[in-house]
Structure 1
Amino acid sequence: MNTSRSTTPIAASTWPVFVLLAIAGLFYVKWFPYYNRAFTAASTHSIGASILMGSAASPPTPSWSAALGYALAYGKAIWQAMVLGLLLGSAVQALLPVRWVARLLGKTGFGSVAAGGLLSLPGMMCTCCAAPVVAGLRERQASPGGAIAFWLGNSVLNPATLVFMGFVLGWQWAGLRVVLGAAMVFGLGYLVNRLVTPTEAQAADARLIELVDEQRAGSPFARWISIFVRMAVRLVPEYIVLVLLLGAARAWLFPHVGPEIGNDFVWIVALAVAGMLFVIPTAGEVPIIQAMLSLGMGVGPAGALLMTLPPISVPSLAMLARSFRPRVLTIVAVSVVGFGIVAGLLAVALQF
């Protein structure tokens, strides 16, 4: 994409605000709490109860109580990160120089994918909390592949989750996640970028010129507030409804857990699909898998959940429905299930 024009004076004066917000917000919401939580994981080999079904062998039957109970537990775990995600997603559009995003993430080669994946590492957000930032990047003409790598990398390559996983589940699980996670983040990002047509690239270049002109007009902070409100009004209501529905439907997605859930291929596929659809907070897969393994579930289905619970969910797919073409999100969803199946088969073959 064309990035020849210089940064506007207004944009040049506002990017430090974005950097300060990102560092302070991530320190308060993610870095400091996870630093302390790592010591808990190392000493107790646990980071808490499974949000999916607690200590029970089955999720609660579908009901309003089950929906509300899960939504409240989930909301308590992620609300600060969601607010930060909305602030950052709107700030990307209002405070950062337009051409900076295009220069770093706008090209359709592997470079933007690598940049997106690496930038995701300090974020450590769950798939839904990262979605507003991804939407903001796409509004500023980040390439589809770069944005996908950033989105998936936040949860799949989360350094804190990998540490928790090593102490709680075992380092072989963390190693499996790193290898397949890197392939998912960078491989899917590259694949998505290869699907960009010349017409789409030209349209992105034209839109970039329009965005540069828009950034020269008006107050960036007034624009930030306006974009934040619009994003919150558009994304949050549908997000809440979908979380409620998934909370109620837990018993339909996940079976009674016991030794009968073995390493059969059918169970691996079924749990891979369920994990892709369901929504969890950051690192929520660790206690979920720990609880299921303690109840006798096979390592194959556990491996499937390892790779499918964190990266995407029905709510995050819905939140980004306007940011990507439907076939891109379909490819990502199907590929995540495929990675889950591979992870399950590897867990069995390697005798985890």
Structure 2
Amino acid sequence: MNTTAPSDRKRTILYVAIFLLVAIIGLAYVKWIPYVDKSITAITTQSIGDSILGDPAEAGTFSWESTWSYTVTYFLAVWKAAVLGIVLGSLVQVLIPADWLLRTLGKTSFGSTAIGGLTSLPGMMCTCCAAPVAAGLRKKNVSIGAALAFWLGNPVLNPAVLIFMTFVLSWEFTLLRAVFGILLVFGISYLANRFAPQPAPEELARKVEETEAAAAPEEGSFLSRWLKSMGRMALFIIPAYFLSVLLIAAIRPWLFPLLEGASGNSLLMILLFAIGGMLFVIPTAAEIPIIQAFMSAGLGTGPAAALLITLPAISLPSLILVAGAFPRKVLWFVGAAVILLGVLCGLVGMWVL
């Protein structure tokens, strides 16, 4: 029986309101307002900027200068969203009631997965910036499917990116992204629940009751608990994030081999670009100018379509950032699924685009 006191309920409402206020202000500043201007640019110029990879003809040429340059360019593009991700990820752990999260996102049902995916749509974050929030949700015992759907939905089903894509690439590219993105966010995330123990309904109900019973005020002020949570998260995320991006920037020249003609639009090239896209890390929407630049340099529509899914979905750095939040076999499954869907998207793109 729920014995929550009125004062506890008021405190819960206040905490949720604070979280929503921080999320709305942060997302408006970092994402929503800048994307309005970017949408106008995409509509009027059919471009959202140059490829972050630079000239595709330079693929295969390594230098420490280019490695460091990419790393700096990347972090200059994402640092605001990365900070917001850490802030929201830590606030999830100290503000959002654990019993509420368990009731709505704690089940391994498709419903919980769908809610996780739908709540990701306003976020519009890249896979690395969404990783701290997904990790925070997992620490509150949110189901694997729901946390994955939130994590993958942020970059893959980003509404602003779909708008950019329609005007810069084509509506066919946007349709492919939407179809395969929905399969990934809702289908693969739901299937990932099978790779972890599934609590029976009565066990979940018992867990909710225990969480409610233990919902007494925690020791320390809210500020001290939040700073402690954010400090623990940042202590791991910042060095792991920087080093993994530096590593992927170093191997960047060999991830996307550019071949022209029939060789550039084959199953082998689709597979290579799917694997490279899955490993590589980019800021939000950077896949659009990357695909645009590669196709201008002679890349076939098949490998280009593969990048639609694999570039934004996950990356080696983002997998490292969530490694402690998900079982290893779940992450292997997600990585393989991203590559498979990228290959399938590439095969469809090779024939219809």
Q: Which residue of structure 1 aligns with residue 267 of structure 2?
A: 265
| Runs of at least 5 residues in structure 2 that lack an aligned partner in the other structure | none
AA aligned to 1:333 is: G
AA aligned to 1:81 is: A
Alignment deviations for residues 101-158 of structure 1 (CA, whole Å, 9 cap, x no partner): 1122111101110001100000000000000000010011110000000011001100
Alignment deviations for residues 239-277 of structure 1 (CA, whole Å, 9 cap, x no partner): 100101111111121224544652111100010000000
Aligned pairs for 1:163-174 (under 5 A) are 163-174=163-174
Q: Is the 8 A contact 1:278 1:314 kept in 2?
A: yes
Q: Are positions 1:72 and 2:110 aligned together? A: no
State the distance in 1 between where 2:337 and 2:63 align.
Answer: 31
State the distance in 2 between where 1:246 and 1:30 align.
Answer: 25
Cα gap change, 1:268 to 1:203, in 2 (>3 Å): same
State the distance in 2 between where 1:80 and 1:208 align.
Answer: 38
Offset, 1:55? 3.4
Tell me the secondary structure at the aligned position of residue 164 of structure 2.
helix
| Runs of at least 5 residues in structure 1 that lack an aligned partner in the other structure | none
Q: Is the 8 A contact 2:70 2:249 kept in 1?
A: yes
State the distance in 1 between where 2:216 and 2:70 align.
Answer: 41
AA aligned to 2:265 is: N
Q: Are positions 1:49 and 2:50 aligned together? A: yes
Cα gap change, 1:55 to 1:339, in 2 (>3 Å): same
Matched pairs, number: 348
Q: Is the 8 A contact 1:257 1:297 kept in 2?
A: yes
Q: Which residue of structure 2 aligns with residue 328 of structure 1?
A: 330
Q: Is the 8 A contact 2:306 2:342 kept in 1?
A: yes
AA aligned to 1:253 is: L
Offset, 1:195? 3.5
State the distance in 1 between where 2:261 and 2:3 align.
Answer: 62
Cα gap change, 1:222 to 1:269, in 2 (>3 Å): same
Alignment deviations for residues 162-181 of structure 1 (CA, whole Å, 9 cap, x no partner): 00000000010001101111
Q: Is the 8 A contact 1:94 1:221 kept in 2?
A: no
State the distance in 2 between where 1:258 and 1:212 align.
Answer: 64
Offset, 1:97? 1.4
Aligned pairs for 1:1-352 (under 5 A) are 6=4, 8-9=8-9, 10-52=11-53, 54-59=54-59, 61-198=61-198, 202=203, 206=207, 209=210, 213=214, 216-218=217-219, 219-256=221-258, 258-259=260-261, 261-350=263-352, 352=353
When the two structures are superposed, what TM-score results if normalisation uses the length of structure 2? Answer: 0.93
Offset, 1:64? 2.3
State the distance in 1 between where 2:263 and 2:12 align.
Answer: 55
Tell me the secondary structure at the aligned position of residue 100 of structure 1.
helix
Offset, 1:196? 3.4
AA aligned to 1:324 is: F
Cα gap change, 1:200 to 1:253, in 2 (>3 Å): farther
Offset, 1:99? 1.5
Percent sequence identity over aligned pairs = 48
State the distance in 2 between where 1:199 and 1:159 align.
Answer: 34
